[in-house]
Amino acid sequence: MLKPQTKGLLLDTTRCIGCGACALACKERNKLPKTSDDVLKDELSDKTYSVVKQVGPRYVRRMCMHCVTPSCASACPVAALEKSAAGPVIYHESKCMGCRYCMIACPFGIPKYEWEKKAPLVRKCDLCADRLEKGLKTGCATACPTGATSFGDRDALIAEAKERFRANPGRYNEHIYGIEEVGGTSVLIISDGKAEELGYPAGLDGTAPAFLTWRVLNIIPDIVMTSAVLLGGIYWIRNRRDEVEAAEGSHHETPKEH
Amino acid sequence: MPKFEVPRFTFWRGVLLVILALGTYSTVVRVFQGLAGSTNLSDSFPWGIWIGFDILCGVALAAGGFTISATVYIFNLEKFRPIVRPAILTAFLGYVLVIVALLYDLGRPWNVWHPLVMWNPHSVMFEVGWCVTLYTTVLALEFSPIVLERFKMTKTLHVMHFIMPLLVVLGVLLSTLHQSSLGSFYLIVPTKLHALWYSPLIPLYFFLTALTLGCAMTIVESFLSHRAFGKQLEMELLVPLGRVALLILALTSVIRFADFRHRGILGLPFQATYESRLWLAEMLIGVLAPGVLLAIPKVRKHTTGLFLAALLIVMGVVMNRLNVSITGMERSSGQIYVPAFTEIAVTLSVVGVGFLIFALAVKFLPVFPEHEMKEARPIVVPAGGNVSGQPIRSLPVPALVVVALAFFGAVALGADGVRRREVDPGPPAPSATKPELAAALASFTPPAEIVFPQAPDSPGPASFRHASHVDASAPDCLSCHGNTYSFLGRKEAPPAGQMHDTKHCGGCHDGTSAFAIEADCSPCHKAE
């Protein structure tokens, strides 16, 4: 269950002026090198955790959504990715063995890899986890001059989004992206356009993908115990038949195949 | 080894040598240039053939181990005993090579042991890691009697014989679990894997195809051993295996039909798309053709016919695994993936090393134990006799037609599919015009005033006001921020007396971009 104090972001594309402050504040905070001359032409990579791009007639941010039940954290065999109590999905570098299953699992295609390095790591936004601990906002929310990116408790952000819908009738496509999608995300998006018009995956199920694998993994102990008894039983019966036959001195052919 | 086989063998040895040389070169590239230099993987396509073939197919191709050992030890079908050892050897080799291949693919292979101590029970990969580790250990133990026998360690041998049934049950459980778990990997990507392959039943499909493959691989292997080592071809064992394979093929097909019907995608395979064409090719090669061949008793009992059917099943499962891991993932990734030369070379080397070690093991260890052959059975093809089996032209005509159709049909479908290969267009393209910003600018609020600490010799307090520096109708944050000035505030106040230099106010207040600092203090410093 989601703790009420879980932090998140509310992205409002109707307020975004495409200034790029969020993207460069992110670079500053994470000490990342410059990767593009035009901030709006930049792409997510191991050196860029957050971008803002023009998609159709509006500017849209792209970054880790910090899912409530993250697919990446569920997929990671060594628990290197973890949903922290504060909200961010954080990455424990020292645990990672580089299988990249998190990249496969993420429905938003967020985790990026240091392909060029000899000891590569996964790279993505961590919602400025260290700043949150100090009671600060994320870098991007600090830099945003229009409130297109607002930081706060997830519940409060949902309330704020609904308030904006109420106060500006007709301005929004009144759907908060991230309440239901993939079981909920800590980064919420409101816009005048639909998800697919923003380049975000549309029609995502309300079930977290992590649940799809967990449902199967969950029954494994039952399968193991049942099968063990079953196989042991078959072994016992098949071999006992031999013993009985040996005792009776009869020599049947090996039983017919199943 | 029959004498006349030497030239053929030399040719294959030459091929193996070339492959291993290329593999060695590729290994050097992988070590010194990382994944970027040795693969065509990318952020949008992070798993290639090292996972799709080496791991997914590698594990599946080792399925003969658990299929045959369960048949002999658990179902007590003694007559299959002669082929237990080669099957176990293949499985053991398969798993060791899968682990080796995994080390190539992992970004940090030296951490490969982490899942054993850093647990995440929610992860399919974690479960597979444990299963593979345990099952490889079990296989090593199952294989150990062969080594013990060779070195006449009878005491240990007795212990091994005693615990063998337990090991087999454990092995069957472990392999069943992770054969299906390799499919479960993909349960987590309902929006990424194409609907032809994504299914809630994918773990079941992976398990059933592994079972079929277990039978097929045993047939193929017996045939190859018979060709290479002049071993006896146990047709009276292999024909029933063919029958079992047919049964599971049929069962899988019925389940798949019901699954497609249930999901309402019965028409999907017949669309003119890349995925549909490759799906049809997979079904033709791996299900339909071998199904028809095995259903004809005359073909099933024909050495070459049975071998062909088994070979088709093997190819079909390999196609399936590659379709799941590559074909089915391409469209959503927005990326077409073609493996790099080095990826292919490593993959071929792993297979080549498998063949090499198998051949060496057969030469130096009692893999084909003669004393386990009980009383004489009718021998279809005597060892060392006609080692090539029945000639293919003696197959019934319908069978030949099926094989030819399947082969050419699959090639045609595949070629047409590749021609239609396309990926997701991605997000909509930006329109030529800039977005309308009037509404957004209404919520623009210049950041707060920054009051600077006063130096002792300062003429008065100074501050920076965004409001007087920013054009609120077209704010351009990056003209100052992002290089010279911080977005996130300084850790400490700027050192007194340095405010006039080019790193601070002097950067712009130089008399060209803005009024010069030296001219007059009053615009900035408010006299007390």
Res B388: pLDDT = 56
Contact with chain B for residue A35, Cβ under 8 A: no
pLDDT of residue B261: 97
Q: How far is CA B201 from CA B127, B180, B255, in A?
A: 18, 10, 9
pLDDT of residue B389: 66
Contacts of B26 (CB under 8 A, 6+ apart): B38, B341, B342, B343, B345, B346, B349
Q: So what's the pLDDT on residue B252?
A: 97
Q: Residue B491 has what pLDDT?
A: 61
Q: Any CB–CB contact under 8 A between A2 and chain B?
A: no
Residue B1's pLDDT is 44
pLDDT tens for each residue of A169-197: 999 999 999 999 999 999 999 999 999 99
* pLDDT at res. B528: 61
Q: Is the dihedral of CA B334, B339, B342, B343 positive or negative?
A: positive
Lowest mean pLDDT across A96-100, A119-123, B274-278, B420-424: B420-424
Residue B8 pLDDT > 60: no
Query: Which helix (DSSP H) or strand (DSSP E) does residue A129 occupy?
Result: helix A129-133
B256-273 pLDDT, tens digit each: 999 999 999 999 999 999
Note the pLDDT of residue B2. 43
pLDDT at B493: 65
The predicted model gives A89-112 an average pLDDT of 97
Question: Distance (Å, rounded) from C-alpha B18 to C-alpha B23?
Answer: 9
Residue to substitute from B193, B441, B487, B491, interface A, most A β-carbons within 10 A: B487
User: Is the per-residue pLDDT at B320 higher than 70?
Assistant: yes
Q: Which of residues 18-57 of B touch A (CB under 8 A)?
A: 34-36, 41-44, 46-47
Say if B112 is an interface residue toward chain A (CB within 8 Å): yes
pLDDT one-digit tens code per residue, B445-497: 888 888 888 888 788 888 888 888 888 888 999 988 877 788 887 666 667 67
Amino acid at position A40, single letter? L
pLDDT at B366: 84
Q: What rounded mean pLDDT belongs to chain B?
A: 87
Task: Identify residue B437 by its one-letter amino acid code.
Answer: L
Q: Which of the residue ranges A143-157, A238-252, B129-143 would you say has the lowest mean pLDDT?
A: A238-252
Q: Which of B34, B79, B440 sits opposite A116 (nearest CB)?
A: B34
CA-based radius of gyration for chain A: 26
Confidence (pLDDT) at A240: 79
Q: Residue B350 pLDDT more than 90?
A: yes
Query: Does the pLDDT value for residue B9 go beyond 70?
Result: no
Q: What's residue B447's pLDDT? A: 85
Q: Give the Cα separation of A77 and B114 in Å (integer).
A: 8
Q: Which two tokens stand for residue A235?
A: 């072994």
Tell me if B107 and A210 make a contact (CB, 8 A cut-off). Answer: no
- pLDDT over 80 at A242, yes or no: no
In chain B, residues with a C-beta closer than 8 Å to the C-beta of A241 are 76
Per the model's pLDDT, the better-predicted residue between B413 and B432 turns out to be B413
Classified as helix, coil or strand, A5 is coil
Confidence of residue B377 (pLDDT cuts 50, 70, 90): very low
> How many angstroms separate the CA atoms of B50 and B39, rounded?
9
Q: Do A234 and B481 touch (CB under 8 A)?
A: no
pLDDT at A110: 97
Shortest CA distance from B330: residue in chain A: A104
Q: Which residues 6+ apart lie within 8 Å of B408 measured at CB? A: none
Contact state of B126 with A59 under an 8 Å Cβ cutoff = no
- Least confidently predicted of A6-20, B244-258, B410-424, B510-524: B510-524
Say whether residue B438 is in contact with chain A using an 8 A CB cutoff.
Answer: no
**CA of A100: which chain B residue's CA is closest?**
B46
For residue B337, the chain A residues in CB contact (below 8 A) are: none
φ, ψ for residue A83 (rounded to 5)?
Answer: -85, 110
Which of A17, A79, A115 is closest, CB to CB, to B441? A17
Q: What is the crossing angle of helices B341-364 and B84-105, to 10°?
A: 150
pLDDT at B52 over 90: yes
Residue B384 has pLDDT above 50, yes or no: no
Q: Residues near A44 by Cβ (< 8 Å), separated by ≥ 6?
A: A50, A51, A62, A63, A110, A112, B43
Residues 110-139 of A with CB under 8 A from B: 112-121, 139
For residue B217, give every residue at least 6 positions away whose Cβ sits within 8 Å of its Cβ, in sequence order, or none.
Answer: B61, B63, B64, B87, B90, B310, B314
Mean pLDDT of B244-262: 97
- Which residues does chain A have within 8 Å of residue B129's beta carbon, measured at their own beta carbons? 77
The residue-averaged pLDDT of B35-50 equals: 97
- What percent of chain B stands above pLDDT 90? 52
Lowest mean pLDDT among A163-172, B228-237, B338-347: B228-237
pLDDT at B372 over 60: no
> What distances in angstroms separate CA A45 from CA A8, A72, A94, A109, A119, one per listed residue?
22, 17, 20, 11, 17
